[in-house]
């Protein structure tokens, strides 16, 4: 009788459950998103002369002024760009919460500005600001 029941049963449809596979794919995706570092290019958008969102900084700050020829000024002293970068890094090591304010002239070439920003970023400085004047609202 048992053999008779075996042959009389309806054929069961075989199925493959994809839920565990989908779960594993999402877990692997999540793992690689967290485990790998994403190297993204950061662009610095600068409104050179005016900025609609200009705000005043209340924090302690170190000022680097770039004139129209690209020369750096620390207060009233004209210094090479490399010296301005070195001085700002030294200041930041003593004032890690302070802001380094870079004030480029409207006609200043971008090369010294980028050189200072890259140098500061390479040294781990994250508190930087670009000096602009408030625009018309």
DSSP conformational letter for 54: -
- Residues ≥6 apart with Cβ < 8 Å to 52: 134, 135, 137
pLDDT value, residue 57: 61
- Residues ≥6 apart with Cβ < 8 Å to 111: 70
pLDDT value, residue 125: 87
Distance of CA 127 to CAs 11, 17, 63, 87, Å?
71, 52, 12, 15
pLDDT value, residue 44: 35
The sheet carrying 77-79 orders its strands as 77-79, 72-74, 61-66, 99-104, 128-130
Q: What is the CATH number of the domain that holds 102?
A: 3.30.420.270
* pLDDT tens, position by position, 76-132: 888 999 999 999 999 999 988 888 989 888 888 889 999 999 999 998 888 888 887
pLDDT value, residue 25: 94
> Of residues 2 and 70, which shows the higher confidence score?
70
pLDDT value, residue 13: 77
- Domains held by the chain: number: 1
* pLDDT tens, position by position, 30-66: 888 887 765 543 333 333 445 556 666 666 788 888 8
pLDDT value, residue 136: 58
Range of the domain at 72: 1-137
Q: Please identify which residue in the block is written with the tokens 């200041």.
A: 91
What is the torsion angle, in degrees rounded to the nearest 10, for the CA atoms of residue 49, residue 83, residue 73 and residue 70?
A: -50
């Amino acid at each position: 009788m048992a053999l008779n029941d075996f042959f009389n049963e309806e054929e069961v449809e075989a199925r493959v459950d994809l839920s565990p596979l989908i779960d594993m794919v999402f877990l692997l995706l999540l793992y690689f998103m967290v485990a790998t570092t994403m190297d993204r290019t950061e662009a610095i958008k600068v409104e050179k002369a005016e900025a609609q969102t200009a705000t005043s900084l209340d924090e302690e700050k170190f000022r680097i002024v770039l004139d129209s020829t690209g020369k750096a000024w620390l207060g009233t002293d004209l210094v090479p760009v490399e010296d301005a970068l070195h001085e700002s890094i030294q200041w930041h090591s003593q004032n890690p919460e302070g802001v380094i304010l870079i004030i480029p002239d409207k006609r200043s070439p971008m090369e010294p500005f980028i050189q200072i920003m890259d140098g500061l970023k390479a040294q781990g400085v994250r508190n930087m600001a670009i000096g602009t004047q408030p625009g018309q609202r």
